[in-house]
A and B are shown apart, each in its own frame.
Chain A
Amino acid sequence: MYLEDIVKALNLRVVSGEERLTAEVLGGYVGDLLSDVMANSKEGDLWITRQTHQNIVAVASLKDHAGIILIQGCNPAADTLDKARKEGVPIMVTDMPGFEAIGKVYNMIATKKGPDPST
């Protein structure tokens, strides 16, 4: 699953990191507490949050996330956007509430991976 597929399917508004939409999405993580996201998210995750502080860019870079989706129409703060553009971190905005956005992203990733062979 590639980031651009998710952007297209969910009609996300890309505000930074357009050049990295070809990145592969390996999984997802949801959280607004950055300490938690730093501790528990993984490389290649698509991170879904409503935290707009500029530290989200540092966390996404540090953890090599595929990108960040801001839900509920939350726009990144001006310094967040500057930093994300400079560092090429894809930030995508949607008006969807978190529950809906997360459900849709999960379904796309789960479908793509196919049924769990162990079941």
Chain B
Amino acid sequence: MKAFRCDLHIHTCLSPCAELDMYPRAILQKAREEKLNVIGICDHNSSENVASVQKAAAGHPLTVFPGMEVSSREEVHTLALFDNISRLQHFQKLIYDNLPGENDENFFGCQAIVNESDEVEGLNQHLLIGATSLSLQEIIDHIHRLGGLAIASHIDRESFSVIGQLGFIDPTFAFDALEVTPRLGLAKARETFPDLGNYPFITSSDAHFLRDIGKTYTEMWMAEGSFQELRLALRGEAGRHIIGGT
């Protein structure tokens, strides 16, 4: 077993609020420069660039987890990570079926769908910046039904976080981990949130710009960069665990 540097929350040029330079190959190059071993691709309410990043990463030692940052009815952001892209596609259908509105890029930004060679193949028309009509509880249940991991996004942020929107984290919410921003950092997370000691904490970059990749990471002690190993590490089982982070 060894330490894996993980950044499970990276956007691509598909997210309207991310820069257009967040192409698959650019993301992977920066991730390698920053010595990351595992990344998660999580665009807002969409996953249409995940396969391209995975294809571009083929042959490299970097693991790319398929994911999405989904917005609930209460406007709480949650990371959904899955073992494989077909699970993610089931989840995607559900999200699109419950995501009203159409994007206007003059107001919200461009939503570029790209291939593994960084070529633009189309523009996503959904209002990805918006919120789904699914409750946070429903979203967590759907993620788990599809075998995925549900991680509460940036809980120390005032906007779009479970604590910002809903005041506190009800212990009945079956989050697999709670993410904090690099501004707070993992070391301070436990003292800031003493009531949430039962949840594992991670930190991620939530990168919308290339320069933010590598700004922070969570180190996990695992046998390999696989989804099963990640699950074990979050749970602290079978010798796997979260070592720490920046």
Residues of chain A having any CB pair with chain B under 8 Å = 32-35, 37-38, 51, 53-55, 58-59, 77
Contacts and interface: CB of A to CB of B under 8 A. Distances in A.
Nearest to B169: A55
B165 A34 contact: yes
B74 A33 contact: no
Contact of B158 (A35, A37, A58): A35
Contacts of B164: 33, 35
A51 B74 contact: yes
A32 B167 CA distance: 10
Interface residues of B, number: 11
B168 interface: yes
A32 B164 CA distance: 10
A55 B135 contact: no
Given A38-B167, A51-B74, A55-B170, 12 more contacts: A33-B165, A34-B167, A35-B163, A35-B164, A37-B167, A51-B165, A53-B136, A54-B170, A55-B166, A55-B167, A58-B167, A77-B135
Interface in B120-153: 135-136
Interface string B165-196: 11110100000000000000000000000000
Closest 3 CB pairs of A and B: A34-B167, A55-B166, A35-B164
B74 A53 contact: yes
Contacts of B166: 34, 53, 55
A35 B167 contact: yes
Contacts of B158: 33, 35
